[in-house]
Amino acid sequence: MSRGRMWLGAVVVVVTGILAAVATATGADAATTCSTGSPCVGLGATNTTSATTSISNTGSGNALNVSASGGSNGVYGSSGAGGAGLVGASGTGYGVWGMSSGTSATGSIGVYGQGAVGLSGLANGTGAADGVKGQGPTGVSGTGTTTGVSGQGPVGVLGTGSAGGIGVQANAHGPGELALSVNGVAEFSQSGVDTIPAGAKSFTHSGIIFASGSIVLAMPQSHIAGVDVEAVVPNPTSQQFKIFLNKAVPSGKSLLVAWFVIQAPD
């Protein structure tokens, strides 16, 4: 064999090897089957394995960066019955962090969940640990055919407003529709029952938090013939209100008066 034919044969072998490697790396194969422990991941192909695949970065950067263009998903996770499509866990930080750079109401969602339960969060810690935490113009938004947002626990849903804000706001869909429905006992911290003793024709209650437009309602909770609540007058400056009766409580008796402080719209 001549030297020229030997060189030609070597070139063919090298080129064939390169093409095979490129085909695997670009996913030209319909599927890629990797044996356990082998450094084999086919891009654009279906990778099949029978064991867990782990990526660990001992440095300070991200362990894995994934991006997609054209409106596709960066990461898509699915699981069979009873499993989770995607699980995030962290020692002290966020288990799952979703961030969007969009500006529209529908195109700027950090984390989006859809299903019988769209999004569920569980906090293993105590105290101030949050199962689900949302931050933004709208921290948490839920839309459902039955329930938009559902919370369950010692406190099912907690809303805390910032300075000058509102803790929880309920809006009706339209005129004549319900903004708030309560099934069970409702408790209000700005309510109570005062006992007006015998001989008194008025009673002053202190320690009330008033806002602009606060209204105080008062109603007797016991019956004494001829004795009734004549008026209740708030004094925001001294954080008090005063209940006036039409006549003094008779000797040997006392009058129970329930009160409720509410806020009128500005």
Closest CA to 51 of 31, 36, 41, 34: 36
**What average pLDDT does range 81-103 have in this prediction?**
73
The position carrying tokens 């695949």 is: 53
User: What pLDDT is recorded for position 115?
Assistant: 64
| Per-residue model confidence as pLDDT tens digits over 147-190 | 777 777 788 887 888 888 888 888 888 999 998 899 999 999 99
Mind giving me the DSSP string for 101-164? ---SSSS--SS---SSSS------S-TT--SS---SSSS-----SS-S----SSSS------TT
User: What pLDDT is recorded for position 6?
Assistant: 41
Report whether pLDDT(3) > 50.
no
Q: How far apart are CA 100 and CA 110, in angstroms?
A: 5
| Per-residue model confidence as pLDDT tens digits over 45-89 | 887 878 888 888 888 888 787 777 777 777 777 777 777 777 777
Between β-strands 46-48 and 31-33, what pairing exists: parallel, antiparallel or unpaired?
A: parallel
Query: Is the pLDDT higher at 147 or at 5?
Result: 147
pLDDT band at 12 (very low <50, low <70, confident <90, very high): very low
The residues pairing with 33 across neighbouring beta strands, listed in sequence order, are 48
pLDDT band at 226 (very low <50, low <70, confident <90, very high): very high
| Neighbour count for residue 34 (Cβ, 10 Å) | 16
Tell me the CA distances in angstroms from 101 to 74, 107, 110, one per residue in order: 14, 9, 8
3-state secondary structure of 65: coil
Query: Is the pLDDT higher at 171 or at 258?
Result: 258
3-state secondary structure of 31: strand
One-letter amino acid identity for 51?
A: A
**What average pLDDT does range 93-107 have in this prediction?**
69
pLDDT band at 254 (very low <50, low <70, confident <90, very high): very high
**What average pLDDT does range 190-196 have in this prediction?**
97
pTM: 0.57
pLDDT band at 17 (very low <50, low <70, confident <90, very high): very low
User: What pLDDT is recorded for position 200?
Assistant: 98
- Cα 136 vs. chain centroid, distance in angstroms? 11
Check if the beta carbon of residue 246 is closer than 8 Å to that of residue 228.
Answer: yes
Mind giving me the DSSP string for 185-226? ----TTEEEEEEPTT-SEEEEE-----TTEEEEEEESS--TT
Q: How far apart are CA 217 and CA 219, in angstroms?
A: 7
Report whether pLDDT(253) > 70.
yes
* Kind and range of the H or E run holding 8: helix 3-25
Query: Is the pLDDT higher at 85 or at 116?
Result: 85
3-state secondary structure of 235: strand
Average pLDDT, the chain: 78
Lowest mean pLDDT among 15-24, 29-38, 88-97, 206-215: 15-24
- Cα 122 vs. chain centroid, distance in angstroms? 11
